[in-house]
Amino acid sequence: MSDQGRWLYAVADRGAAEDHAWLTGVAGVAGGEVRAVRSAGLTALVSDVDLGEFGAEALRRNLEDLRWLEEVAWAHHHVIEAASRHVSLLPIRLATVYGGDASVTAALVERQREFTCALAQIRDRVEWGVKAYAAPANPVPAARASSASGTGSGSGTGMAYLKRRRDELAANQDAQRDTTAGARAVYAELAGHAAGARLHPPQSPQLRGSKAPMLLNAAYLVRRCDATSFAAAVASAANAHPELRLELTGPWPPYSFAGGDAW
Amino acid sequence: MTSGNIIQPGGGTARAYGGGQAASGHAPANLGDILERVLDKGLVIAGDIQINLLDIELLTVKLRLVIASLDTAREVGINWWENDPWLSADAGRRASDRDLRAENRRLENKIRELESGQPGHDGGGRVPARRTRRAADDE
């Protein structure tokens, strides 16, 4: 066994990836040259990696190194992204490493059915990410709170303060309920414009530039040619929900839909 | 870019639609989005090189928390996750030591309370303890 392993990026149809001129010049993880390994009517995109850095022990250590991880993650994504402009493909989870071409071939043969089914689901479709936050300058709580405080502010007593405080809290709770319900509604509305929808855990507001908590972190599988109409749907959802700020990212290779389950 | 509205594949850009405002400017997709996808999504198949799944999950959990602002975190040199008991084994041990000590103190206090507050009551245990507390509340 050599000290070179095969890093797996994606699996595509053999036919779709037959002409892989677009692969030339695409640098993979650790600068490796990306190439195709074909079997069972499928194509695997791989590059050689040094097992000294990408073997089991080293990987375990390196994956905990955020700087190393960042570099590898970008390289992995870059290859998948570049290839996905040309073919429909299944992105493979980071750090899937084989000992040689023969084991890659064996994996294609062994899981041919699964790959073929999953490829059929994502063919000519891309992933769009939609995140929702509470709109930063949400005027609702402030307006409610000030109108409430207006009624009791004349007395200036402790009771008035408590009432004002209680109203403020209630207004905040109402606003929070509104935005959460809004985010749920947006998720469902947009799902109507997509072939698949996935809910991801919201990303942490900790250390984030904005303090606004993420209320929705969703991924949608959309036909490649429907990009404009999906963006329009997001824009109209944003108009219908002024309490939210929506963010659209993409198109992404269909990372969230490569697993194929839970449609 | 094929047109103003269509962005090339890869999630290189993000568009924001905010609180009734018209679509605003473009921002680069963040590293967190990339990490979330390459680590947490994507098809999982077993390679020849086996990575301990627990390790990966720990990493993923860690990133899920860090993910939104890895860049920011690095810029300001924050490594708060190292002290997060949920994320770091060392910190976890320290935290559980603290918890144990606190628990010990609580139990010692309870025993003292029982011994002093309920002399002559047979059995001991929780019920008298609650009675003691209720009696104290009533006073």
* Residues B3-58 pLDDT 10s: 332 233 344 456 777 653 333 333 445 777 888 888 878 888 888 887 754 555 56
Nearest chain A CA: its distance from B75 CA (Å): 11
pLDDT digits (tens, 9 = 90+) for A63-120: 877 788 889 999 999 999 999 988 999 999 999 999 999 999 999 999 999 999 999 9
The pLDDT score that the predictor gives to residue A51 is 95
- Give me the sign of the Cα torsion angle A240, A244, A250, A251: negative
Cis peptide before A251 (omega within 30 of 0): yes
**A91 CB within 8 Å of a chain B CB:** yes
Q: pTM of the entire structure?
A: 0.70
Q: With an 8 Å Cβ cutoff, is A202 touching chain B?
A: no
For residue A96, give the nearest of B29, B45, B65 by CB distance. Answer: B45
Q: What percent of chain A has pLDDT over 90?
A: 59
Pairing, β A4-13 against β B26-28: unpaired
What number of C-beta contacts closer than 8 Å exist between A and B?
Answer: 204
- Residue B101 C-alpha, separation from nearest chain A C-alpha, in angstroms: 29
- Burial class for A25, CB neighbours closer than 10 Å (0-12, 13-18, 19+): exposed
Query: For residue A20, what are its two tokens?
Result: 């892989």
Question: Would you call A246 an interface residue with chain B, using a CB distance cutoff of 8 Å?
Answer: yes
Q: Which of A204, A210, A228 is the mutation pick for testing B, counting most B CBs within 10 A?
A: A204
* A106/A112 Cα distance (integer angstroms): 10
Q: Which residue has the higher pLDDT, B128 or B33?
A: B33
Using the Cβ of B42 and the Cβ atoms of chain A, whether some distance falls under 8 Å is answered with yes
Residue corresponding to tokens 């990575």: B51
Phi, psi of B109, deg, nearest 5: -60, -40
pLDDT at B135 over 50: no
pLDDT per residue as tens digits for the range A191-219: 999 999 999 878 766 544 556 788 999 99
- Which two structure tokens, joined as six digits, stand for A184? 């749920």
> Mean pLDDT across the stretch A176-181?
84
Please tell me the distance from the alpha carbon of residue B70 to that of residue B68, in angstroms, as a whole number: 6
Q: Average pLDDT of chain A?
A: 86
Strand, helix or coil for residue A1: coil
Model pLDDT, residue A171 = 84
* Cβ–Cβ < 8 Å for A76, B38: yes
Residue A38, number of CB atoms within 10 A of its CB: 17
Cα separation, B120 vs A207, whole angstroms: 57
DSSP reduced 3-state for A175:
helix
- C-alpha dihedral sign at A34, A38, A42, A48: negative
Q: Taking CB atoms and an 8 Å limit, are B37 and A256 in contact across chains?
A: yes
A 113-132: CB under 8 A from B: 118, 126, 129
The token pair that represents A102 in the structure block? 């023969």
A103 phi and psi angles, rounded to 5 deg = -75, -30
Alpha-carbon gap, residue A119 to A257, rounded angstroms: 10
**How many other CB atoms are found less than 10 A from the CB of residue A94?**
27
The predicted pLDDT at position B103 comes to 74
Tens digits of residue pLDDT in A105-162: 999 999 999 999 999 999 999 999 999 998 875 444 444 444 444 454 455 688 888 8
Q: Does B33 touch chain A (CB under 8 A)?
A: yes
Nearest chain B alpha carbon to A56: B49
Q: Provide the 10 A C-beta neighbour count for residue B104.
A: 10
Instruction: Determine phi and psi for A59, rounding to 5 degrees.
Output: -60, -45
Mutant choice from A207, A230, A257 vs B, greatest count of B C-beta within 10 A: A207
Chain A residue with Cα closest to B72: A207
Q: For B18, which of A111, A135, A203 is closest by C-beta distance?
A: A135
